[in-house]
Structure 1
Amino acid sequence: MKIQVLQSNPIHVFPNGTSLESLAIRANGQILTTVITAPELYLVDPTINSSATLIHTFSAYEVLTGIVEVEFDQFYVIAGNYSFVSGTTPGSYSIFHVDMVADVPEGQLLNGLGLLSREEGLIYVADSFAGVIRLLNVYTGEIHVAINDTLTQPATEDGLAVNGVHVSPSGEKKYAYFTNTDRGILARVLIHPNGSAIGQAEIVASNLPVDDFTFDRDGNVIQALIGANEVVKIDVETGNVTLLAGSLNSTVLEEPTMAQFGRREDDRKSVYVSRNGGFGKATQVGGAVLRIELAGKVQGLKRRRR
Structure 2
Amino acid sequence: MKELSAPELFPGHDGGAWNPIAHTVVAQWPVGAFAENLAIDASGAIYISLHSHSRIDRYDPVTGECAPFVETPAPVSGLAFGTDGILWATGGTVGTAPGFVWRIDQRGTLSDWVSVPDAFFMNGCALLEDGRTLLVCESVTGRVLAIDVMVPSYRSWLADDRFKPGDPQTPGANGIKISGGFAYISVTDANLLYRAAIGAGGGAGELEIVANNLRADDFAFAASGALYVATHPAQTLVRLDADRMRSTVAGPDQGMVGSTACAFGRTPADAMALYVTTNGGLYRPHEGVLQDAKLVRLEVGEPGAPLAGA
**Shorter chain as normaliser: what TM range?**
0.7 to 0.9
2:36 maps to 21
Contact 1:33 1:42 in 2 (8 A): yes
2:71 maps to 57
Mark the CA change 1:135 to 1:92 in structure 2 (over 3 Å): closer, same or farther.
Answer: closer
Q: How many residues align?
A: 287
2:213 maps to 207
2:123 maps to 111
Alignment partners' CA distance in 2, 1:17 and 1:156: 23
Alignment partners' CA distance in 2, 1:75 and 1:35: 15
2:245 maps to 240
Q: Which runs of 5+ in 1 are unaligned?
A: 83-87
Task: State the Cα distance separating 1:4 from its structure 2 match.
Answer: 2.1
Q: 1:269 corresponds to which letter in structure 2?
A: M
Q: 1:53 corresponds to which letter in structure 2?
A: A
Alignment partners' CA distance in 2, 1:99 and 1:161: 28
1:184 maps to 191
Q: 2:281 corresponds to which letter in structure 1?
A: G
Mark the CA change 1:9 to 1:109 in structure 2 (over 3 Å): closer, same or farther.
Answer: same
Alignment partners' CA distance in 1, 2:175 and 2:66: 25
- SS of match in other structure, 2:162: helix
- SS of match in other structure, 1:117: coil
1:125 maps to 136
Task: State the Cα distance separating 1:160 from its structure 2 match.
Answer: 1.5
Task: State the Cα distance separating 1:156 from its structure 2 match.
Answer: 4.2
Selected match of 1:175 from 182, 186, 191: 182
Selected match of 1:269 from 268, 272, 277: 272
Task: State the Cα distance separating 1:155 from its structure 2 match.
Answer: 3.5
Is 1:138 the counterpart of 2:138? The answer is: no
After TM superposition, the structure 1 = structure 2 runs for residues 213-228 of structure 1, keeping only pairs within 5 Å, are 213-228=219-234
1:85 maps to none
Contact 2:92 2:120 in 1 (8 A): no
Post-superposition CA distance 1:225-284 (Å, at most 9, x none) = 112211111135x432122222xx547211111110001122111001111111254521
Alignment partners' CA distance in 2, 1:128 and 1:194: 25
Q: Which runs of 5+ in 2 are unaligned?
A: 1-15, 105-109
Alignment partners' CA distance in 2, 1:122 and 1:151: 23
Is 1:301 the counterpart of 2:308? The answer is: no
Contact 1:24 1:67 in 2 (8 A): yes
Contact 1:77 1:95 in 2 (8 A): yes
RMSD: 2.2
Contact 1:78 1:96 in 2 (8 A): no
TM-score, normalised via structure 2 length: 0.86
Mark the CA change 1:150 to 1:190 in structure 2 (over 3 Å): closer, same or farther.
Answer: farther
Contact 1:215 1:221 in 2 (8 A): yes
Selected match of 2:282 from 279, 282, 286: 279
Post-superposition CA distance 1:52-109 (Å, at most 9, x none) = 2111112x32x11000011232111113113xxxxx2121434333211111112110
Alignment partners' CA distance in 1, 2:307 and 2:123: 25
Contact 1:93 1:109 in 2 (8 A): no
Deviates more, 1:30-39 or 1:99-108: 99-108
Q: 2:275 corresponds to which letter in structure 1?
A: Y
Q: How many percent identity over aligned positions?
A: 24
Alignment partners' CA distance in 1, 2:169 and 2:282: 20
Q: 1:299 corresponds to which letter in structure 2?
A: P
